[in-house]
Amino acid sequence: MGFVLVIAMHVGLMGSGNSNALTNVSGFKSKESCESSARELKKLMDGTVKEIRTVCIEVK
């Protein structure tokens, strides 16, 4: 059992329909460590026009 962090980003300068990216990071042993990493990732986007969404999913 573990957790996967799914990351969706919109990094384009113009409009909301361009420059989208989707990726994932696996190997988290707890939901707390996954969510902590998501928060740290979101901090990197602070002060920018970029948008990021994350979710931690349990895998068995």
Helix (H, G, I), strand (E, B) or coil at 1: coil
Structural domain count of the chain = 1
The model's pLDDT over 6-20, given as tens digits with 9 standing for 90+, comes to 999 887 766 555 678
Q: Which two tokens stand for residue 21?
A: 């990216």
Entry pTM? 0.82
Torsion on CA atoms 41, 8, 29, 44, rounded to nearest 10: 0
- Note down the domain range covering 48: 2-59
Residues 24-43: tens digit of each pLDDT? 999 999 999 999 999 999 99
CA-CA-CA-CA torsion sign (51, 7, 53, 32): negative
Contacts 24+ apart (CB under 8 A), 12-20: 13/49
